[in-house]
Amino acid sequence: MGEARVMESGVEIREDGPVTIVTINRPKKMNAISSGAAKDIQQAFAEFDASDQRVAIITGAGGKAFSSGADVTDRPEFWRCVPTVGLDTAKPVIAAVDGWCIGGGMLLAVMADLCVCTETSKFSYPEAKVGITGGMIPALAARIPQKMAMEIILLGRTVAGRRAYEMGLVNEVTPAGGHLDAALQMAREMADMAPLVLSTLKTAVNRDVLARAPAEHMVHARIALDRVAQSYDSKEGVAAFREKRKPEFKGC
């Protein structure tokens, strides 16, 4: 396994052959995701997507928590680090969970293509108990049976790793500490497969099969509009209007 590259927020990136491992490394804060960490995770996945790497794993440091969600002392734009939303890649993404997986942290596991957890993992989505919602958790009902999803969303009960497996939220349950090895085994299997086929199938599932939550539509629209607002053509159009000349657009 290669040497870790540490980003400003503490997020670590490590390569194991064709597999990229992105680790949320804030164990003293239960791997809560700060504004900087969300941006760094998004950047790490953008680099992964543009590279020759085949599969990505997202995990958390230490055994206490995969992630406790958003850092309330430094609130992130959380959508940035959510697979299929801010992490826009057609390559496979696996979540490797150990310990607590709470709130936004659970979204990472839900929206990843595959998920491995340990027997000691605990999943919790307590938005209804604390009186706030980001509106993205309804996507869970597109991924596991509706009654199972509503048990998590409406009751807010803690779900143990084995129960999460029975619900269809995770693909495999390992003994404590075995989650990353299991995720790597999955990743290496896919790394030997045809990348174009994997990306085509993943894209078809996400685009044509799975329903999107309203918050997902909102974020995707925002990303598209921001891309236009920050483009050369946007700046050229404004400049041409002020200078009373015909704009020269480039489509970028």
Q: For residue 115, what is the domain's CATH number? A: 3.90.226.10
Tell me what the mean pLDDT of segment 241-245 comes to: 94
251 inside domain? no
The DSSP code for 137 is G
249 inside domain? no
- Per-residue pLDDT at 214: 87
Band (132; pLDDT cuts 50, 70, 90): confident
Classify residue 16 as exposed, middle or buried by CB count within 10 Å of its CB (0-12, 13-18, 19+). Answer: middle
How many separate domains does the chain show? 1
Instruction: Provide the whole-model pTM.
Output: 0.92
Rounded CA separation 92/116 (Å): 14
Band (163; pLDDT cuts 50, 70, 90): very high
- Per-residue pLDDT at 191: 98
Token pair in block for residue 247: 């704009």
- Per-residue pLDDT at 235: 95
- Per-residue pLDDT at 1: 74
250 inside domain? no
- Per-residue pLDDT at 12: 98
- Per-residue pLDDT at 3: 86
190 inside domain? yes
Q: What percent of the chain has pLDDT over 90?
A: 91
pLDDT exceeds cutoff 80 at 65: yes
43 inside domain? yes
Tell me what the mean pLDDT of segment 204-214 comes to: 93
32 inside domain? yes
232 inside domain? yes
Biggest CA pair distance of the chain: 69
Give one word for 94, left, alpha or beta, with left for phi > 0 and alpha for psi -120 to 50: beta
* Residue-number span of the structural domain to which 125 is assigned: 5-243
- Per-residue pLDDT at 115: 98
13 inside domain? yes
- Per-residue pLDDT at 187: 98
- Per-residue pLDDT at 245: 94
Q: What is the mean pLDDT of the chain?
A: 95
Band (2; pLDDT cuts 50, 70, 90): confident
